[in-house]
Structure 1
Amino acid sequence: MCFVIVTSRSLLWSLLSIAVTLGHLIALAQPYWLIGKPRNKYDGDHINPDVSEERWSPSIGIFSSCRQLTRVSQESLGLPDSILCTTYTRSFGDIANGYWKASVVFYAFGFLILSFVFCVAFISLCKRSICHKSIFTVSGFLQAVAGLFIIIALCIYPIGWGSDAVQDVCGEDAAPFQVGDCGVGWAYFTAMGSTVLLFVCSVLSVQADISTSQDEIQDEINKGKSLICLCW
């Protein structure tokens, strides 16, 4: 018989685990890891104070970038806007530089683990153990391991700021750990914030395990209840 056990701490862990996974997914998919200074459309120059419209900011992520189309390209593609945000890579080998490739590898390992925990977060509502171990503590350990992989990825990423692809967006002054004319974009901060929350989830998993192992839970099961909700 399946018992659905929900406590405030286990529910918080499940929801936060799902949010963290989605946060990393959003960060990876966005081209806003580095954002350049505003420029005037079509001429590629930095912003002209005499021109108050037709401005844009180039940006680049690990897999994608926002670039300006020429008027000819814009007309041929039938696009209403001259700024196109799309992937610049067709394969792993097209990633901007070797450091970013290494970053992707570590990030991929971490994200695969998170994807597994994402599924476990749903299973935890009606199953408390996996391989005779608490499903929460196993998941918390995996979240900590995933966090370490992602931290390594985020630390390696700035070393690749001196590549040609970054200099096209951030200027020739861009170098390892120096963004040149760019600023660090919100996608990178999203990845950092999601990683911090990932370790919060890892700690919270212990509390989730404690809350679902109380004597009150067993008492409710003995009474024949299949849906058990506790507010602690």
Structure 2
Amino acid sequence: MNWRDGCQTSGFTNLRSKDLHTGHEGVLWALISLLSAAASCVGFFMPFWLLGSQMGKPVSFGTFRRCSYPVQDEVHGGTVMVEQCGRYASFLSIPSVEWRICTVVTGTGCGLLLLVALTALMACCMSDIISRSVGRVAGGIQFVGGLLIGSGCALYPLGWNSEEVKQTCSNASDQFNLGSCELGWAFYCTCAGAGITVLLCTWMSCFAGKKQKYYPY
């Protein structure tokens, strides 16, 4: 092997070493992005944002779903609690305007986080997809998605004065006042996913894709 071949081999080795290091950063960003997106999406879908009780039965709410709801007993008369989970019959059936906005805003944010996370995972299997500029754009999308989810979480307490929530919280709840109710794990899970995305994933996206430096030898 002559001197030129040796320099070319050395340059190739240095380039591959840089690619490997950048790949590790990208994989870590993709994994954390997926975990944070999954946390937000699972928390958003599960109806355990607000926990209370009604007629001696545990009741829980999400933004567009609830568990345990009262129905009229046509056989024996009166009202009974059906201990099942389900979504509201229509968008307008959601108890308050604030919760409807929360559903749209949080759902949009979760969709953006999931889109970026899946794209980042696919990029781990294909080279030269995530460049520095693409990584920054992805980070910007994550930042917007995280802010949307955070805004949805901030809007959620504005709906605690609805009649359904008051019935569940001993008629003592109001905006930003839980009464006898408490926040559930799904609310914290959604907020945590948004926080990790805004504070960590957005920053990591700046290093996930880097410009490759090619050397003449």
Scaled by the length of structure 2, the TM-score of the pair is: 0.76
1:177 Cα deviation from its structure 2 partner: 0.3
The offset of 1:22, in angstroms, is 1.1
Instruction: Report what 1:149 is aligned to.
Output: 148
Off by >2 Å, runs of 4+ in structure 1 = 3-8, 82-85, 127-130, 132-135
Q: Is the 8 A contact 1:107 1:149 kept in 2?
A: yes
Q: How far has the Cα of 1:198 moved from its partner?
A: 0.7
SS at match of 1:36: strand
Corresponding residue for residue 25 of structure 1: 41
Q: Which has the higher helix share?
A: 2
Residue 124 of structure 1 aligns to a residue whose secondary structure is helix
SS at match of 1:35: strand
**Aligned twin of 1:121:** 120
CA distance in 1, matches of 2:94, 2:70: 21
For the residues of structure 1 that align with 2:85 and 2:136, how far apart are their CA atoms? 39
Whether 1:207 aligns to 2:207 is yes
Post-superposition CA distance 1:50-77 (Å, at most 9, x none) = xxxxxx532111122221779x89xxxx
Corresponding residue number in structure 1 for 2:24:
8
Inter-partner Cα distance in structure 1 for 2:29 and 2:85: 34
| Contact 1:124–1:135 (Cα < 8 Å) also in 2 | no
User: Are residue 35 (structure 1) and residue 90 (structure 2) matched?
Assistant: no
Partner of 2:197: 198
Are the equivalent residues in 2 in contact too, given 1:128–1:136 (CA < 8 A)? Answer: no
The alpha-carbon deviation at position 83 of structure 1 amounts to 6.4
Residue of structure 2 equivalent to 1:186: 185
2:63 partner amino acid: I
Residue 60 of structure 1 contacts residue 169 of structure 1 at CA under 8 Å; is this kept in 2? no
Shift of 1:115: 2.7
* Counterpart for residue 13 of structure 2: none
Contact 1:127-1:135 at 8 Å conserved across structures: no
Deviations 1:22-44 (CA, angstroms, capped at 9, x unpaired)? 1112111211101115x8xxxx2
Q: SS of the counterpart of 1:26?
A: helix
| Cα separation, 2, equivalents of 1:151 and 1:29 | 15
User: Distance between the aligned counterparts of 2:115 and 2:193, measured in 1?
Assistant: 16
Partner of 1:57: 58
Question: What is the DSSP-based 3-state SS (H/G/I as helix, E as strand, rest coil) of the residue aligned with 1:187?
Answer: helix
Who is 2:77 aligned against? none
Contact 1:66/1:86 (CA < 8 Å) preserved in 2?
Answer: yes
Distance 2:123 2:133 in 1: 10
- Structure exhibiting the larger radius of gyration computed from Cα positions: 2
Pairing of 1:42-191 with structure 2 (within 5 A): 44-45=55-56, 57-67=58-68, 84-125=83-124, 126-129=126-129, 134-191=133-190
Report if the CA contact (8 A) 1:23-1:191 is conserved: yes
| 8 A Cα contact 2:52 2:181, kept in partner | yes
**2:47 is paired with a residue of what secondary structure?**
coil
RMSD: 3.0
CA distance 1:154–1:68, change in 2 (3 Å) = closer
Q: Percent sequence identity over matched residues?
A: 25
Unaligned runs of 5+ in 2: 1-15, 75-80
**Letter matched to residue 134 of structure 1:** S
Aligned residues: 190
